[in-house]
Amino acid sequence: QGEVVAVFELPRTHAAHAVLEEAGIPTGPELILRRINTRDGRKTAWVNDRRCSGEVLRALSERLVELHGQHDDRGLLDPKGHRALLDAFAGIAPLMDTTRDTWRARSRLAKRLTEAEAALAAVRAEEEYLRHAVSELDAMDPQPGEEMELDARRRLMQGAERMREDMARAHSALGPQGAEGAMGDALRWLDGLAERADGMLDAPLEALGRAMNELADAVQGVERAQDVLSFNPHELEETEERLFTIRALARKHDVLADDLASFAQGLRDRLAALDRGDADLRSLRTELAQAEAAYDAAATALTAARTAAAARLDAAVTAELAPLKMERAVFRTEIAATEPGPEGRDSVTFSVATNPGAPAGPLARIASGGELSRFLLALKVCLSDSDAGITMIFDEIDRGVGGATADAVGRRLAALADGGQVLVVTHSPQVAALGAHHWRVEKRVRDEMTTTTVIPLDAQARVDEIARMVAGDTITDEARGAARALLAGTV
């Protein structure tokens, strides 16, 4: 498996702290990142010895390291990235946030208005159906649970005649001609004997009294049941008609009978929306107009800020080009109107004229490979304030240049390192000599396995390596002398 560990010292204001806090990872002055890749392709990452997702690691990396490879200047050829570079130089994050917020608000309202117009059009298309359905449902006014009640009532009425006959027989058996009369006679007979029975009949008399009370309750219950079963001959027909109508409405609208009431309310709400639809649309259009005005104001302010920053960037880049042996080159930031969006309504294009009197044009058409590298370096120097706290890695940024130009590139890289950590991979002795620390990168193949080794160099090794870059594999005393002169800055 392979393991990489990187240690960063963070100032308290570094942007990485916000990522750590959002991920719930303790922060401090030191940040340790660790990544392990196994032979079977598994990857794990740790931040300060706490396991984290690749997403957190990427978010941290974006705020910690900026890599410029051999072909990174190709990004300069794509105008899509020019606006971001200008915005970084301008330092207009609050204006950008305002523009994005107003754009999102405008977009949300535009979407709501479109949906409201479509919904209103759909409701208007079925207005006749809605009004008829609501009228039909309102006439019935079905209630939750009513179908079950009507069905039970119908079944009860269908068997009521036989039930009434049996209840009448039961009432007769319990009444004065039945149990009530017999128990009354028994109570009178025993009551007449109570005084002579010397207490023997007290308990039976009490029990009989309780039984008479219970019997009276039973008789009343039967009478109430008889009252329930007493209905108008047409009541069964009316009950069945309402029950069948409710069931037909439920089938018609494809809902449960118990849901008809809520379904009817939904239709009423749609009709109410139709009735107030024009007012709602007017309100939404007013809100959208206000949101568009807010976006227009934010985008206008953003354009003004970009225009002012473009003039400053042009002057700054032009000033940086002179030390890079491009003192006659002219750098120009052109801003044109484009379709509105969350980033405003400006397109930004960098154009250059590398020779006096030559027309300005896109970088891709005007600048050579070496010139592109120097334009990128000039931009990075100008943007160094916005890149505070980032470790910048340049991989052969000096390709295509040599001699005095390479020395100028090295000196601008050294100046860039004054504001942060800069790592440079180079084959140029002029650039390498200006570094504060040096490492030699070696690749070896053993048993069909490639191993890359990074070796820190002491003072003598630095001289030898730069001499090798000057003279090749055979290092002469003259080459060492030239290397010492480069390191001493006397060349």
Residues 48 and 168 occupy one common structural domain: no
Query: In the prediction, which pLDDT does 148 show?
Result: 94
Q: Which domain holds residue 398?
A: 387-491
Residues 146 and 259 occupy one common structural domain: yes
Gap between the Cα atoms of 184 and 182, Å rounded? 5
Query: In the prediction, which pLDDT does 137 show?
Result: 92
- Structural domains of the chain, count: 3
Gap between the Cα atoms of 353 and 351, Å rounded? 7
Of 478, 425, 487, nearest to 460 (Cα)? 487
Please state the φ and ψ torsions of residue 361, each to the nearest 5 degrees.
-160, 180
Three-class SS state of 49: coil
Residues 27 and 151 occupy one common structural domain: no
278 within domain boundaries: no
Per the CB < 8 A criterion, the answer to whether 79 and 62 are in contact is no
Residues 33 and 142 occupy one common structural domain: no
323 membership: H or E segment, kind and range: none
Residues 144 and 47 occupy one common structural domain: no
Verdict on whether the full-model pTM lies above 0.75: no
92 within domain boundaries: no
User: Which residue, chain included where needed, has tokens 């630095």?
Assistant: 462
Of 13, 34, 59, the position where a domain reaches its end is 59
Three-class SS state of 67: strand
291 within domain boundaries: no
301 within domain boundaries: no
Residues 132 and 262 occupy one common structural domain: yes
Distances (CA, A) of 113 to 124, 125, 140: 16, 18, 36
List of residues 6+ apart from 164 with CB closer than 8 A:
226, 229, 230
Of 234, 251, 273, the position where a domain reaches its end is 273
List of residues 6+ apart from 12 with CB closer than 8 A:
29
User: Which residue, chain included where needed, has tokens 């042009």?
Assistant: 314
Here the contacts of 192-200 (C-beta below 8 Å, separation 24 or greater) are none
Residue-level pLDDT, tens digit, the chain, 491 residues: 788 999 988 887 777 888 888 888 888 888 999 999 888 888 899 998 889 888 888 888 877 877 665 555 445 667 777 888 898 889 898 999 999 999 999 999 999 999 988 888 887 888 788 889 989 999 999 999 999 999 988 887 777 667 777 787 888 888 788 788 888 888 888 888 877 877 788 888 888 888 888 888 888 888 888 777 766 668 888 888 999 999 999 999 999 999 999 999 999 888 887 777 788 889 999 999 999 999 999 999 999 999 999 999 999 998 888 888 888 888 899 999 999 999 999 999 988 888 777 777 877 676 666 677 778 788 888 877 665 567 888 877 777 677 788 888 888 888 888 877 888 888 889 888 989 899 998 888 888 888 888 999 998 999 999 898 888 878 888 888 888 888 887 55
Residues 14 and 151 occupy one common structural domain: no
Three-class SS state of 324: coil
Residues 53 and 136 occupy one common structural domain: no
Gap between the Cα atoms of 86 and 343, Å rounded? 12
Please state the φ and ψ torsions of residue 442, each to the nearest 5 degrees.
-120, 140
Query: In the prediction, which pLDDT does 176 show?
Result: 80
Residues 19 and 155 occupy one common structural domain: no
Query: In the prediction, which pLDDT does 166 show?
Result: 77
Residues 133 and 268 occupy one common structural domain: yes
Per the CB < 8 A criterion, the answer to whether 325 and 313 are in contact is no
329 within domain boundaries: no
Gap between the Cα atoms of 53 and 63, Å rounded? 16
Burial 274-302 (b: 16+ CB within 10 A, else e): beebeebeeebeebbeebbebbeebbeeb
Residues 55 and 132 occupy one common structural domain: no
User: Judging by DSSP bridges, how do beta strands 2-9 and 30-37 pair with one another?
Assistant: antiparallel
Query: In the prediction, which pLDDT does 385 show?
Result: 66
Gap between the Cα atoms of 405 and 409, Å rounded? 6
- Chain Cα centroid distance, residue 448: 47
Of 240, 273, 306, the position where a domain reaches its end is 273
In this structure, what token pair is assigned to residue 48? 């300060």
Query: In the prediction, which pLDDT does 85 show?
Result: 84
258 within domain boundaries: yes
Of 262, 241, 245, nearest to 144 (Cα)? 262
Distances (CA, A) of 336 to 96, 183, 310, 346, 347: 17, 111, 12, 6, 5
Max alpha carbon distance in the chain (Å)?
A: 154
Query: In the prediction, which pLDDT does 344 show?
Result: 94
199 within domain boundaries: yes
118 within domain boundaries: no
Residues 148 and 44 occupy one common structural domain: no
Gap between the Cα atoms of 278 and 193, Å rounded? 93
List of residues 6+ apart from 62 with CB closer than 8 A:
none
Query: In the prediction, which pLDDT does 366 show?
Result: 66
List of residues 6+ apart from 331 with CB closer than 8 A:
313, 314, 317, 318, 321, 350, 351, 352, 375, 378
